[in-house]
Amino acid sequence: MNLILFGPPAAGKGTQAKRLVSHHGYIQLSTGDMLRAARKSGSELGQRVAKIMDEGGLVSDDIVIDLIDEQLTQHSGAAGFIFDGFPRTIGQAEALDRLLESRGSQVDRVVRLLVDEAQLISRVTKRFQEEGRKDDNPETFSARLEKYNEDTAPLLPIYAGQGKLHEVDGMAAVEAVSAGIEQALQ
């Protein structure tokens, strides 16, 4: 099972991905987590992406595609993958298709978590206070939302056209959202 968890920042993708990992043993591939780890390690890659991330921009397709390629190879034979925060552009989506196809696989489902903007802002305000993630501050968050609307949301009609898109109410309680995702996986 290859599942894309789709939605704007703070829609709950990470939370739901972790639940799927514990229930199904799927591998979570979060490009945001990978990039934050690279920054923390002080690697050359981490230094290269720091400014873009802090400004709420998107790092280049080549960088995140390479990260995903590496992880798919590292976990070959996994029961499934959950893509969390990837793909975010049409170029990334096309690359993902190629990477999976070369491994005899494909994107099986795309689950969109629907959360309205007021709720996203209230969640991220809380997360900013609790975790202090620099890119959760109000100005940067609005840049991230804008990027989502401009570059990422256009993927929705593409996946809908492929019959892969399922929508789940992301404003419901965590358990109810998980149940909706499970239904989409049937």
What is the side-by-side order of every strand in the sheet holding 165-169? 27-30, 81-84, 2-6, 109-114, 165-169
Query: Rounded CA gap, 141 and 122, in Å?
Result: 11
Rule CB under 6 A: is residue 9 a binding residue for ligand AMP? yes
Alpha helices (H) along 55-169 = 61-74, 90-101, 117-131, 138-147, 155-161
**Does 168 sit near ligand AMP (CB under 6 A)?**
no
Q: Is 89 exposed, middle or buried (0-12, 13-18, 19+ CB in 10 A)?
A: buried
Residue whose structure tokens are 């894309």: 4
In whole angstroms, how close is the CB of 186 to ligand AMP at the nearest point?
Answer: 27
Choose between 90 and 160: whose C-beta lies nearer to ligand AMP. Answer: 90
Q: Letter for the amino acid at 8?
A: P
Which one, 24 or 39, has the nearer CB to ligand AMP? 39
> Which listed residue (11, 35, 155, 168) binds ligand AMP by CB under 6 A?
35
Q: Report the nearest approach of ligand AMP to the CB of residue 143 (Å).
A: 8
Q: Any contact of residue 59 with ligand AMP (CB under 6 A)?
A: yes
Cβ 106 to ligand AMP shortest distance, Å: 19
Give the interface with ligand AMP as residue ranges (CB under 6 A): 9, 31-32, 35, 52-53, 56-59, 64, 85-86, 88, 92, 135, 144
